[in-house]
Amino acid sequence: MAVKVRIPTPLRKLTNGADEVAAEGANINEIINNLEKSYPGLKERICEPDGKLRRFVNLYLNDEDIRFKENMETRLKDNDEVSIIPAIAGGR
């Protein structure tokens, strides 16, 4: 499946400045592995060494958090949109 992946500003140095890239895969895990082949270093920034999503990174499939779906096994279809969103914390 061909999907659109939105890249947050801190990771755009890995995508040569692109804020959006295309990737192929049947599920989130395959998309991330496909992105790693095209943009080395991306996977280690969003995934733990065991392949699970880092807790300070959120992935959304068409505006739904994948943690409330099937997580890394969430199935995709053509023209879906995946957004990588770094968690933001702060305040006093």
Single out the residue of 53, 56, 57, 55 nearest to residue 27, CA to CA: 53
Q: Which CATH class is domain 2-86?
A: alpha beta
- What's residue 91's pLDDT? 60
- What's residue 87's pLDDT? 85
- Counting as low any pLDDT under 50, the low residues of the chain are none
Q: What is the pTM of this model?
A: 0.90
- What's residue 75's pLDDT? 97
- What's residue 90's pLDDT? 62
| Distance, CA of 69 to CA of 59 (rounded, Å) | 11
The domains of the chain are located at 2-86
